[in-house]
Amino acid sequence: MQQIMTFSELKLIKPLVSALDKKGYTEPTPIQEQAIPHVLEGKDIFGCAQTGTGKTAAFALPILQMLTAKKATNSSRAIKALILAPTRELALQISESFTAYGNQLGISHTTVFGGVNQNKQTMSLKRGVDIVVATPGRLLDLMQQGFVKLDAIEHFVLDEADRMLDMGFINDIKKIIAKLPSKRQTLFFSATAAPDIMKLANTILRNPVSVAVSPVSSTATLVQQSVFYVKRENKRLLLKHVLKNGTIEHCLVFTRTKRGADKVAKELNSSGITAEAIHGNKSQNARERALKGFKNRSIRVLVATDIASRGIDVDKLSHVINFELPEVAETYVHRIGRTGRAGASGIALSFCAQDEMTYLRDINKLIKKNIAVSPHPFS
């Protein structure tokens, strides 16, 4: 029988282990087990891992530990670690992890992102912080205004690099990297190892250790999947029927468009089901409010588009519903990976109309199995 590893066996300091304990994490996920020892040794990492694999802790824990060890000898208030994330949601998520894991260590951090007034961010930068979690656009902006200096950076993390490239951030990233000291540790994470990703990784990593966990086609094995064949015009009826069933307390619903997300949320609310839509056209505050309500369960259903959903990381989410199937099969895997995380089980339901059958075929092909078909009263 394979020996189960614990966090203390990864040579993590007591305050980190007890913070993990408090969150109910007792054993590391595969990416944490593989990456943490190498990061603690100061090596560069090329990590191939999706969201939901526990990769934030794989870099946050060792960075906190290394900064704590140096704190006694280095009291400078210069920024020592920089984490770049593609979206505000993901930046805030990462920031929450630093808060949760490092609350006993006295290591300070701040989050820098666009779409909100910069004053609060510049105030904390002026006070001096050890770690900055940032989106590329706002970071560059603050660098140009002289609020951010990167010449003392010891640890640099590029998270969701594939998504950064998709969103057109490559030039911003290059400008930021040009300002970093050449003597630093770089941790690079991406869900894919496509040629343009490898090209970028090769320019910024030095003798990296590669760590990888389950490829995109292996959907979370703990997620129970089923599909409902349904006419497009009956999808909302079916959704309300499924939600009225009572076993679904908390659920993430995916639509393909922003308008679709708004319509579904509106319809659910008018049927007495608390729902909120989250997408790119919503203000930052509205998105944060919706996410907070969903996390503290005052909102039962969060209706999201794919772009907005990256960075939604909710503990113990039991259900994901694909109100519309995505056009790209890999997106389906990312969506259902929101449930069944870190060892918990989950359920993914998909609504498939006649014009979505080709998408379903692509998904079945990618995950190498046919999703079970469920009967219902609204075919």
Greater pLDDT, 138 or 52: 138
Q: Which residue has the tokens 């614990």?
A: 6
| Alpha-carbon gap, residue 122 to 56, rounded angstroms | 25
- The domain ranges of the chain are 8-212, 223-373
Cβ 254 vs Cβ 320: under 8 Å: yes
Helical segments of the chain, H only:
14-22, 30-40, 55-71, 88-102, 119-127, 136-144, 161-166, 170-178, 195-204, 235-244, 258-270, 284-295, 306-309, 329-336, 357-367
The token duo for 251 is 């659920």
Q: Which residues have a Cβ under 8 Å from the Cβ of 197 and sit 6 or more positions away?
A: 161, 162, 165, 190
Choose among 136, 143, 199: nearest CA to 164: 136
Q: What's the mean pLDDT in 277-293?
A: 84
Choose among 191, 192, 180: nearest CA to 132: 180
Cβ 252 vs Cβ 309: under 8 Å: yes
What string of H, E and C letters represents the secondary structure of 162-222? HHHHHCCCHHHHHHHHHCCCCCCEEEEEECCCCHHHHHHHHHHCCCCEEEECCCCCCCCCC
pLDDT at 217 over 60: no
Q: Which residue has the tokens 């995916």?
A: 254
pLDDT at 295 over 50: yes
Q: What's the mean pLDDT in 225-237?
A: 94
Residue 360: pLDDT band with limits 50, 70, 90: very high
- The CATH number of 223-373 is 3.40.50.300
Q: Which residue has the tokens 């990462």?
A: 94
Per-residue pLDDT at 148 = 95
pTM above the 0.85 mark?
no
Residue 1: pLDDT band with limits 50, 70, 90: very low
Per-residue pLDDT at 2 = 44
Choose among 191, 177, 184: nearest CA to 208: 184
Q: Which residues have a Cβ under 8 Å from the Cβ of 324 and sit 6 or more positions away?
A: 235, 254, 255, 256, 260, 351, 356
Greater pLDDT, 313 or 279: 279
pLDDT for 138-191, tens place per residue?
A: 999 999 999 999 999 999 999 999 888 888 898 999 999 999 999 999 999 988
Greater pLDDT, 277 or 167: 277
Per-residue pLDDT at 379 = 64
pLDDT for 74-97, tens place per residue?
A: 667 899 999 999 988 889 989 999
The token duo for 100 is 């949760």
Greater pLDDT, 292 or 253: 253
pLDDT at 242 over 70: yes
Q: What's the mean pLDDT in 101-127?
A: 92
SS3 26: coil
CATH for 8-212, options being 3.40.50.300, 3.20.20.60, 3.30.360.10, 3.40.50.12160: 3.40.50.300
Q: What is the DSSP letter of 2?
A: P
pLDDT at 342 over 80: no
Provide φ and ψ at 73, rounded to 5°: -100, -10
Per-residue pLDDT at 215 = 56
Q: 14-23, 54-63, 120-129: lowest mean pLDDT where?
A: 14-23
Q: How much of the chain exceeds pLDDT 90, in percent?
A: 54
Longest alpha-carbon distance in the chain? 68
Helix or strand run (H / E) with residue 229:
strand 223-229
Per-residue pLDDT at 225 = 92
Per-residue pLDDT at 62 = 96
Q: Which residue has the tokens 């990590």?
A: 47
pLDDT averaged over every residue in the chain:
87
Do 8-212 and 223-373 show the same overall fold?
yes
Greater pLDDT, 3 or 257: 257
Greater pLDDT, 14 or 5: 14
